Chains A and B, each alone.
Chain A
Amino acid sequence: MQQRVLDIKRAPASHGGHSERRGITGFGFYLYLLSDCVLFATLFAAFAVLHRSVANGPTGMELFGLRNAFIETACLLTSSVTCGMAMLACDRREVRSAFGALAATFILGLVFLALEMNEFAHMAAEGAGPSGSAFLSAFFTLVGTHGLHVTAGLAWLVVIFVQLRQKGLSDGVVRRMYCFSLFWHVIDVVWIAVFSFVYLIGSAS
């Protein structure tokens, strides 16, 4: 195993190609994403421990609307697929369709974020803000951290749009798009856990 890791580290010295560089960057970014999953695991653990500590305030069953959560889920899932389409367009070296697919990803991500902000504002207006109870603190920390990741992804996409315009599908831009697609897919996987364990189980029990 050690040997394999060393192999990819040695690759650029022996070949100096761009796909090796992309491989190393991708692997490093993959390791970062796995560590991000550990961060989310701690927040999920905190939520699981605290989700009954409502301090006589509103419970998940009273707060969560499944319709909203379903639309959010559909947006994020579809944006994951359009992100994949962008990478396929990258493989075919089609700048325009890559741009279009990423634009669709951006819009769907924006819709997701708008729905989430709307929900947060609604909850805060009903007096169920982050300071309401331990349950609400854990909820806002967990879902808010996910929302921040989506926001960071959208900011990253803006940078990619600018670079696609200026440089086209250069090696650097493709490498960034590739890392972005990994990031976006992982964010979607984390969202599966959020809607299942926070919204669905929270609204049922």
Chain B
Amino acid sequence: MTQPSTASDETAHVTPGTQDGQGHGSLRGYLVGYVVAMLLTIASFLAAGTDALTPSSVTAAVTVLAIAQMLVHLIFFLHISTSPNQRTNILAFAVTAIVVAMIVAGSLWIMSHLHENMMPVDPQMHMQSEP
């Protein structure tokens, strides 16, 4: 760190939710994020409401749209970026993302195996709970 010791030193680490360590983004950024997020929301509600898609393709479409919309929120509202002065933020975020993925995917994986290995208690009930 050979930067001169000026007021800009404090921007060496950008705090979450701000841009360049100073402001909270721009009006344009928020409006672009708003429009894009709204379009993605409408798209996923349309995908879920239509009869043209099979349930598994609805699941896939809604999942992709949800992840896209979360990214829009992170970029335009929380101002998370890949700039070097956000490294600590990104690292903490990445660790959380890994933990979240392990919890959700791991639970589903383990529980589906348990479910397969379980003897159905009441065959009829089992059939009904498994459409």
Using a CB–CB cutoff of 8 Å, the interface residues on chain A facing chain B are: 1, 4-5, 7-8, 11, 15, 17, 19-20, 22-23, 26-27, 30-31, 34-35, 37-38, 41-42, 44-46, 48-49, 52-56, 66, 69-70, 73-74, 77-78, 80-81, 84-85, 87-88, 90-91, 178, 181-182, 185-186, 188-189, 192-193, 195-197, 199-201, 203-205
Contacts and interface: CB of A to CB of B under 8 A. Distances in A.
Size class of the B contact interface (CB-based, 8 Å): 35 or more
Q: What does DSSP make chain A's interface, helix, strand, loop or mixed?
A: helix
Contacts of B24: 84, 87-88, 90-91, 178, 181
Is the contact region of chain B dominated by helix, strand, or loop, or is it mixed? Answer: helix
Contact of A53 (B34, B66, B74, B129): B129
Contact of A37 (B25, B44, B96): B96
A15 B111 CA distance: 53
B49 interface: yes
Interface string B50-80: 0001011011001101100110011001100
Contacts of A195: 41
Contact of A88 (B30, B73, B125): B30
Given A1-B87, A27-B15, A52-B130, 16 more contacts: A1-B91, A8-B88, A23-B13, A26-B18, A30-B16, A49-B111, A56-B125, A74-B41, A91-B24, A182-B17, A185-B17, A192-B70, A197-B62, A197-B66, A204-B53, A205-B59
B2 interface: no
Contacts of B100: 37-38, 41
A17 B37 CA distance: 36
Contacts of A56: 125, 128-129
